[in-house]
Amino acid sequence: MFRLTWVQPEDLLGHELRQAVQDGREPSAIAARWRTAGGPEAPARAGASPEPASRYLRMLAEDLLDELADLPSKLAESEPTDLAKIKASCPNWPAPANCPHPAQAAPTPLALEAAWLGRAIGCLLGKPVEKLPLTAIRHLAKSTGNWPLTTYFTAKGVPPDLLTTHPWNRRSAPTSLAENIDGMPEDDDLNYPLLNLLLLQRHGKDFTPTDMAKLWLDELPAGRTFTAERIAYRNLLTGIEPPQTAHHRNPFREWIGALIRADMHGWTNPGGPAAAAEQAHRDATFTHTANGVYAAMFIAATIAQATTGTHDIHACLRTGLTVVPPRSRLARAIHHAIQLARKHEDFDTVVDELHAAYAPTHHWVHAIPNTALITAALAHANGDFTGSISRAVGGGWDTDSNGATAGSIAALLAGTPTALPDHWTTPLKNRLATSVGDFDGTGFDTLAHLTHREASRP
- Tens of pLDDT, residue by residue over 342-354, are 999 999 999 999 9
Residue range 368-377: average pLDDT? 99
- The pLDDT value given to residue 442: 98
Size (the chain), residues: 458
Q: State residue 432 phi and psi, 5-degree precision.
A: -120, 130
Q: Is the pLDDT of residue 100 over 50?
A: no
Query: Cβ neighbours of residue 333 under 8 Å, at least 6 residues apart?
Result: 358, 368, 369, 371, 372
The whole-chain average pLDDT of the chain stands at 96
- Phi/psi class of residue 315: alpha, beta or left (left: φ > 0; alpha: ψ in -120 to 50)? alpha
- Is pLDDT larger for residue 99 or for residue 221? 221
Mean pLDDT of 82-109: 84
- DSSP-derived letter for residue 417 is G
pLDDT 10s digits, 429-455 = 999 999 998 999 999 999 999 999 999
pLDDT at 1: 52
Q: What is the pLDDT of residue 310?
A: 79
Q: Hey, what CATH topology would domain 99-125+185-456 get? A: ADP-ribosylglycohydrolase fold (1.10.4080)
Look at residue 101 and tell me whether its pLDDT is greater than 90.
no
pLDDT tens readout for residues 279-328: 999 999 999 999 999 999 999 999 999 999 878 999 999 999 999 999 99
pLDDT above 70: residue 102: no
CA distance 295 to 288: 10
Question: Are residues 292 and 253 in contact, defined by beta-carbon separation less than 8 angstroms?
Answer: yes
Q: Is the pLDDT of residue 103 over 60?
A: no
- H or E stretch at 280: helix 273-284
Phi, psi of 457 (to 5 degrees): -70, 130
Percent of the chain whose pLDDT exceeds 90: 93
Is the pLDDT assigned to residue 392 strictly greater than 60? yes
> Domain ranges in the chain?
9-69, 99-125+185-456
Chain centroid offset of residue 215 CA = 20
Q: Is the pLDDT of residue 104 over 80?
A: no
Is residue 156's pLDDT more than 50? yes
- Closest to 123 in 3D by CA, of 434, 450, 442: 434
> Using one digit for the tens of pLDDT, what is the confidence trace for 394-431?
999 999 999 999 999 999 999 999 999 999 999 999 99
Gap between the Cα atoms of 273 and 267, Å rounded: 10
Q: How confident is the model at residue 109 (pLDDT cuts 50, 70, 90)?
A: very high
Average pLDDT over residues 202-207: 97
Cα-based torsion angle of the residue sequence 327, 331, 332, 338 in order, rounded to the nearest 10 degrees: -150
pLDDT of 125 > 70? The answer is yes
Burial of residue 457 (number of CB atoms within 10 Å: 0-12, 13-18, 19+): middle
